[in-house]
Amino acid sequence: MVSFTIISSTNHTWKKVNSEDNIIVYNCEVEGSKFKKSKVETTINFSKLKNAEIVLKDVSKYKNWQPNCSSSKLIKAEVNKIYSYLTFDAPWPVSDRDLILESTFIKSENKLMMKTTCKPNFIKKDDDFVRITYGEGLWEIEQKNDGNLMIRNTNHSSPGGNIPAWLSSSAVEDMPIETIQGFKKALRELEN
């Protein structure tokens, strides 16, 4: 039997900040960080849990559905863990970013979790990018009895370097919606 536990040990006061297409985004303050934590939730009625797992494990296609992701490649794969390298385009005058993620998968019959942790020193730094040194995320996907998929993605990161306030706000208010829209599009493409 697989046990699903809450990753965060602190209580957060979530505030709804955006919604579109049945996708709802919440933010909360994080003590000691100038960047907010985001949570985005939606329910879809057209896919299966196994397809969600396929999309999340296919790192090479992240660039097709994650906002501003310009490249994505798998570095290493283990039984229930993958390491990926991603690059992101940033609007001028902000420097482009790169990110190394360790993604751990936990699944049961009707639930899938992918916990992501930033691993900035896993591979040599590329001087063309500002390396993102802190990030934690959690995808939680559950196949409900009615067949619908409940999807929740929680994320907190520090993009490093100087980030304008408007870009920081967009990262925790608009980009979560774009991420879920992209994820849904990738699922639809898999269904066809």
Mean pLDDT, range 108-125, rounded to an integer: 96
Predicted confidence at residue 94, as pLDDT, reads: 83
The predicted model scores a pTM of 0.90
Residue range 19-48, pLDDT digits in tens: 999 999 999 999 998 889 999 999 999 999
Q: Which residues contact 120 (CB under 8 A, 6 or more apart)?
A: 100, 131, 132, 133, 134
Strand residue runs (E) in 65-133: 69-77, 81-88, 97-107, 111-118, 130-131
Identify the helix (H) or strand (E) that includes residue 143: strand 134-143
59-105 pLDDT, tens digit per residue, is 999 999 999 999 999 999 999 999 999 999 988 888 899 999 999 99
Structural contact between residues 37 and 158, judged by C-beta atoms closer than 8 angstroms: no
Q: Which of 4, 2, 28, 9 is nearest to 17 (CA)?
A: 28
H-only helix segments in 30-149: 49-57, 62-65
Summarised one tens digit per residue, pLDDT across range 165-192 is 556 666 778 999 999 999 999 999 998 7
